[in-house]
A and B are shown apart, each in its own frame.
Chain A
């Protein structure tokens, strides 16, 4: 499989890679969910942040990523990094969500469905996303999820029977897509969310 930015996409592999340094990719303009950005920043070890050639690159609550950001992601994957793309589409308006979906499809070959409001109506529900990789974890949902449609890669998170997390190997790196934001749970101090994130190869 060849992405639109020219990267070979072989099948998924299983083990999380060791992380030496991490970076939150800055996206110009107002942040969709500022608490998500803060959540990752607060959960990860500060002394390992801010590198140019990091092994964990995170894009919190994103709708679209400009070209220079995509180039950084491509470079990171080429160099064997793990890249987490967290969807910010759950609370986006129709127009913004359409742009988000088109961006994911065209640039990352990730097909997503329209956001689902998990709390719509009166039905009580179990408020957790179930992560299955790199280890099992239950993390609170964030009310709305962006479920995956047709996908290439391994499903690593579920909201009930809806797939909301994807892991795929891209060149030497690992691409992770989260359709349910994890950052707000980190920001609120959710220990399971932190454990899941640190499970991305922090020793």
Chain B
């Protein structure tokens, strides 16, 4: 398995290149680029500028692990407004395009949001219908769409079996699950999700959670690896069982208040311990 971390973790006043140096020095193999979440990678970033990002990543001795985005929280594929839906689809398309330019084969999509206003059945149907053509585009580009399990925040696809059924309904091998082991504690156990989804897992987000602090989505729930309640030996065993050998991507929601670079080192070392199984 290889280690990656999001470019949105780079301290705001550091800039991309300095951040890449830190990521490499801390021992990561790659970097996750967040479309729309960082100043250097926006929807308006041109192809040439994206190629330049790739050059900088490779010059730092890294590769791009995947392309993620938080833009779908504001513009979900499940929106009722056709104009918002069109924008959401365009975001996914741009993720696919930039993934190809950046030399990676996976993107992260937050597929749908259930709200008081937009009910579950509508969100389900709309996401399935949106992901079918997007999955075809992704397949043509050699990219996989990983729908992230943001269970509690999305109020959507709350159990692993339901997520499985959802992927069955989308019925496209290019659409799988970007599994976040820190988003499961409200309703289940990360190791069981890994077992159930196995070959459909496109990438894995790592973080730890403190159950007594409440639901996912509340920032105070998240903590550094091994400080929380995830059963890391069970997670590691499940990864072995399903033969997962892809990217592990640190998504540390809570940031160090001081010495922010130290979090990169600590996280990389914890990931090494997880990968080696010395738990």
Specify which of A35, A119, A140 is in contact with B119 (CB 8 Å cutoff): A140
* Chain A 151-194 interface mask (CB, 8 Å, partner B; 1/0): 00000000000000000000000000000000010011110000
Interchain CA distance A102-B117 in the complex, whole Å: 29
Residue pairs across A and B with CB atoms within 8 Å: the count is 34
Q: How many residues of B contact A (CB 8 A)?
A: 14
Residues from chain B with Cβ under 8 Å of A35 in the complex = 122, 125-126, 129
Q: How far is the CB of B155 from chain A (nearest CB, A)?
A: 15
With contacts A35-B126, A91-B81, A142-B80 known, is A189 near B121, CB below 8 A? yes
> Could you say which of B82, B116, B118, B129 contacts A33, with CB atoms under 8 Å apart?
B82
Q: Which residues of B contact A189 (CB under 8 A)?
A: 121, 125
- Interfacial chain A residues near B126, Cβ < 8 Å: 35
Give which listed residue, A32, A91, A143, A184, contacts B117 with CB less than 8 A.
Answer: A143
* B residues near A91, Cβ cutoff 8 Å: 80-83
B125 touches A187 (CB 8 A): yes
Residue contacts A-B, CB under 8 angstroms, 29 given: A32-B82, A33-B82, A35-B122, A35-B126, A35-B129, A91-B81, A91-B82, A91-B83, A119-B116, A119-B117, A124-B116, A127-B116, A127-B117, A127-B119, A140-B119, A142-B80, A143-B80, A143-B81, A143-B117, A143-B118, A184-B80, A184-B122, A187-B125, A188-B119, A188-B121, A188-B122, A189-B121, A189-B125, A190-B121
**What is the interface of chain A, defined by CB distance below 8 A to chain B?**
32-33, 35, 91, 119, 124, 127, 140, 142-143, 184, 187-190
Which residues of B does A touch, CB under 8 Å?
Answer: 80-83, 116-119, 121-122, 124-126, 129
The 8 closest A-B pairs by CB, nearest first: A188-B121, A188-B122, A119-B117, A91-B81, A143-B80, A189-B121, A188-B125, A143-B117
